[in-house]
Chain A
Amino acid sequence: MSELRDVFITGTGAILPGERIGNDRMEDFIGRIGGRPSAVGRRALRWNGIEGRHYALNTDGEPLHSNASMCADAVRAALDGAGLSLGDLQHLGAAATQGDYLVPGHASAVQAELGAGPLEAFSYQSVCASALMAAKGAWLSVRAGEADVAAACAGEFSSRWFRPHFYEGSALVDEKGRVRIEADFLRFTLSDGAGAVVMEPRPKPEGLSLKVEWIDMTSLAGRFDPCMWAGSTPEARADMTSAWSHAGPAAAHAAGAVALLQDFDLLKIVIRAWIGVWLEKVDAGRIVPDQVDHLLCHYSARSLRQEIVGLLESTAAMVPEEKWFTTLSESGNVGSASIWVMLDAFMASGRGKPGDRVLCIVPESGRAMIGFMMLEIV
């Protein structure tokens, strides 16, 4: 059996479509449900601390891109950054919360947009942590010697799901025209974009690369109901036979089972579960907080961060806040693409030096999952 190889991220790419949209113009793009401005929008923005984001549609709701085309652009940018071309690519892992189609998988759409020749393509569908699922697939493939050039990409086109017709005429809007908070909140949280990384068994000849030391994923789906989901109503989401696919599209829409939803009560519990996984890794010595030079943690809201920090400090598990790097407030929460958008901005920032250890953390509320990726700058 051949030996496992070291693996390096030799290129990163990020695509944020259109212009940067400030808080004041958001609803021009995602629309106003029932023609009225959102009641919870301002509260959501205070909570998440986001000041700008990008949308892949215009104010009439017409798409400027597809999820797949943004991902393809991000892969091209990452290949460019690595000094490689499309023909070198042997493995493509593509992640998304929701691809452009229901079927087939996102990876085939991205491959088609790339116009790439035959290669291995893998689709990963979950919420934010799907980015690291794709990264783990790419990492293992290069590590095992199955591929010499692998790309992992992730993209989101959330805004189209936030347009008024996803809610109007459904049980999510009451007789007074008010939208349920479980639905409206996410409209002010998520936005569009894509990101990608390229992995190879050796560092780039010039410039900085990132050695992938390990990627750990922990899913706790067996213990929780869905916390962020689309495809079922809030009341019936634990019952798989009530899913949208059983009811059929028209009845599902009427019941409010098509829109993306979030359970906030459960989210608080899931946050504690994520912290539990983190503390377990610190305790096991897998993560030594003092030895982390840069922390790229994808968190959906500023207020969550404050809650987490208190507990981490009292348990000596905190990475000091000056080591945290984030793009949340300026470019928003891009779901699965966020970690790559952050990593791309981090590499461009000049903050990282050879020998620095970079820890990426991606918690996902979907059904309680968290992923960790440890990198070393070389």
Chain B
Amino acid sequence: MHRARERAGDDRLHDAGDCVMAEREAEAAVADTLRRLAVVFADFEQRLEATPLIRKLTRGRFEVADYHAFLINLRQQVKDGALWMSRAASNIGEDHLELRSTLMRHAVTEHRDFRLLEADFTASGGALDDIQSAPKNVGSEALSAWMFHEASKPDPFGLLGAMFVIEGLGSIKARPWGLKVQERLALPDEAVRFLLYHGDNDAEHMKEFEEMLGMVLPDPFVAERIVTTAKVTARLYALQIEEIAA
């Protein structure tokens, strides 16, 4: 996309100058927003570390029952994730078709992930019916309601902030958590696939994320909305983990 713009300006000096300026402006806006999102994520990670469940995991008092509670509660958000993403995509207007396509592809990739989670649950000794019939906890209810609410708005670009938080969790936290769970509970790979698999795959997603930001920035209102949405999502996500009895 960048290259196409540069070529268009080759024969017209002023346009070329404008294009280069616009591109720099876009890059600066993406960097600014990424920085603000990184601050949100740092705070989020610290809150997560301080939740009773994660403290149990890091301090070595984590039991199979805790892992089961973790999976049961994660499932709600994972199942809803692809759904709000599809809804968000369907509310993105014609001016941002590329972003719409990206979100749709994303939703397709992830919409069966909750089955993997269920498989981990049963492989670690849980009964399928227990994970499928469990109600959402208070945090999951709030998180899910918030996501669908945002996704129902026209051009819901703020949800990129939510994606940053959730993808970040996948690329940064999932694998170390998975390894720790495995080590503490001596579980086979088949019982921690969801956590391990996410860590393996989500690094690519962050690159894709930068590109998605470039599709909607620079726009100060959008940038603000992205950061705000990230903050709310992070707070509710942490609440979801806090609510898991530990």
Which A residues lie within 8 Å of B46 (CB)?
Answer: 220, 223-224, 273, 276
Does B36 lie within 8 Å of A283, measured CB to CB? yes
Which residue from B32, B49, B59, B210 sits with its C-beta under 8 Å from A223?
B49
Given contacts A223-B46, A273-B45, contact A266 B58 (CB under 8 A): yes
The verdict on A288 contacting chain B, using a C-beta distance below 8 Å, is no
What 1/0 flags go to A268-280 for Cβ under 8 Å of B?
Answer: 1100110111011
The reply on A19 being an interface residue by CB < 8 A is: no
The answer to whether A275 touches B58, judged by C-beta atoms less than 8 angstroms apart, is no
**A280 cross-chain contacts in B, Cβ below 8 A:** 39, 42
The residue in chain B whose Cβ has the minimal distance to the Cβ of A237 is B59
Interface assignment of A316: CB less than 8 Å from any CB of chain B:
yes
**Bound form: Cα–Cα A225–B46 in Å:** 11
CA distance A90 to B41 in the complex (A): 44
- Looking at chain B's contact residues, is the secondary structure mostly helix, strand, loop, or mixed? helix
Q: Is the CB of A276 within 8 A of B50?
A: no
Write the nearest CB–CB distance from A234 to chain B, whole angstroms.
9
Q: B31 contacts which chain A residues (CB < 8 A)?
A: 314-316
Chain B residues lying within 8 Å of A279, measured Cβ to Cβ, are 35-36, 38-39, 42
Find chain B residues with CB under 8 A from A230 CB: none
Min CB distance A286 to B, Å, is: 13
User: Are A276 and B43 interface neighbours, CB within 8 A?
Assistant: yes
**Interface residue tally on A, bucketed by range:** 20 to 34
Residue B97, interface by CB 8 Å: no
Whether B45 contacts A272 by the Cβ 8 Å rule is: yes
Contact A315 to B38, CB < 8 A, known contacts A220-B46, A224-B49: yes
Residues of B within 8 A of A316 (CB): 28, 31-32, 35
- By size class, the interface of chain B is 20 to 34
Contacts of B47 in A (CB 8 A): 223
Q: How far is the CA of A277 from the CA of B45 in the complex (A)?
A: 13
- For residue A263, which residue of chain B has the nearest CB? B58
CB distance from A2 to the nearest CB of B (A): 37
Q: Is the CB of B39 within 8 A of A276?
A: yes
Residue from B34, B180, B210 in contact with A265 in the complex, judged by beta carbons closer than 8 Å: B180
Residue among B49, B172, B210 facing the most chain A CB atoms (10 A cut-off): B49
Pairwise interchain contact B35-A276, C-beta atoms closer than 8 A: no
Establish whether residues A275 and B42, one from each chain, have CB atoms under 8 Å apart when the complex forms. Answer: yes
List the A side residues contacting B60 at CB < 8 Å. Answer: 235
* With contact pairs A225-B58, A238-B59, A314-B210 given, residues A269 and B45 touching in the complex (Cβ less than 8 Å): yes
Shortest CB distance A126–B (Å): 19
Residue in A238, A275, A276 whose Cβ sees the most chain B Cβ within 10 Å: A276
CB distance from A283 to the nearest CB of B (A): 6
- B40-73: contact bitstring with A at CB < 8 Å (1 yes, 0 no)? 0111011101100001001110000000000000
Near A by CB (< 8 A), chain B positions 75-97 give none
Report A-chain residues with C-beta under 8 Å of the C-beta of B34.
Answer: 314-315
Chain B positions 142 through 185: 1 when the CB is less than 8 Å from some CB of chain A, otherwise 0: 00000000000000000000000000000010001000100000
Known A273-B46, A276-B43; judge A311-B32 contact (CB<8 A).
no
Cβ–Cβ contact A225 & B59, under 8 A: yes
Is B176 within 8 A of A265, CB to CB? yes
- The interface residues of chain B lying within 8 Å CB-to-CB of A78 are none
- B38, B49, B60, B210 pick with most chain A CB within 10 angstroms: B38
Q: Does A255 contact B (CB under 8 A)?
A: no
Whole-angstrom distance from the CB of B241 to the nearest CB of chain A? 14
A228 at the interface (CB under 8 A from B): no
Q: Which residue of B lies closest to A316 (CB)?
A: B31
Cα A155 to Cα B35 in complex, Å, equals: 35
Partner of B42, one of A238, A265, A276, A282: A276
Quick check: is A142 within 8 A (CB to CB) of the other chain? no
Residue among B28, B59, B176 having the largest count of chain A Cβ atoms under 10 Å: B59
Inter-chain CA distance A272–B32, complex, in Å, is 18
**Closest approach, in angstroms, between the C-beta of B179 and any C-beta of chain A?**
9
A273 touches B176 (CB 8 A): no
Q: Kindly report which residue of chain A lies nearest to residue B172, judged by CB atoms.
A: A272
Are B41 and A317 neighbours in the complex by a CB distance under 8 Å? no
The distance from the CB of B69 to the nearest CB of chain A, in whole angstroms, is 21
Contact yes or no, A283 B45, CB < 8 A? no
> In whole Å, how far is B26's beta carbon from the nearest beta carbon of chain A?
12
Interface positions, chain A 282-317, Cβ under 8 Å from B, are 282-283, 311, 314-317
A272 to B44, CA, bound (A): 11
Complex formed: what's the CA distance from A238 to B36 in Å? Answer: 31
In the assembled complex, 30 residue pairs joining A and B whose CB atoms fall closer than 8 Å, in A order, are A223-B47, A224-B49, A225-B59, A235-B59, A238-B55, A265-B58, A265-B176, A266-B58, A269-B45, A269-B49, A272-B41, A272-B45, A272-B172, A275-B42, A276-B41, A276-B43, A276-B46, A279-B38, A279-B42, A280-B42, A282-B35, A283-B36, A311-B38, A314-B31, A314-B210, A315-B34, A315-B38, A316-B28, A316-B35, A317-B35
If A222-B50, A224-B49, A315-B38 are given as contacts, then 14 extra A-B residue pairs at C-beta distance below 8 Å, sorted by A number, are A223-B50, A265-B58, A272-B172, A276-B42, A276-B43, A276-B45, A276-B46, A282-B35, A311-B38, A314-B31, A314-B210, A315-B32, A316-B28, A316-B35
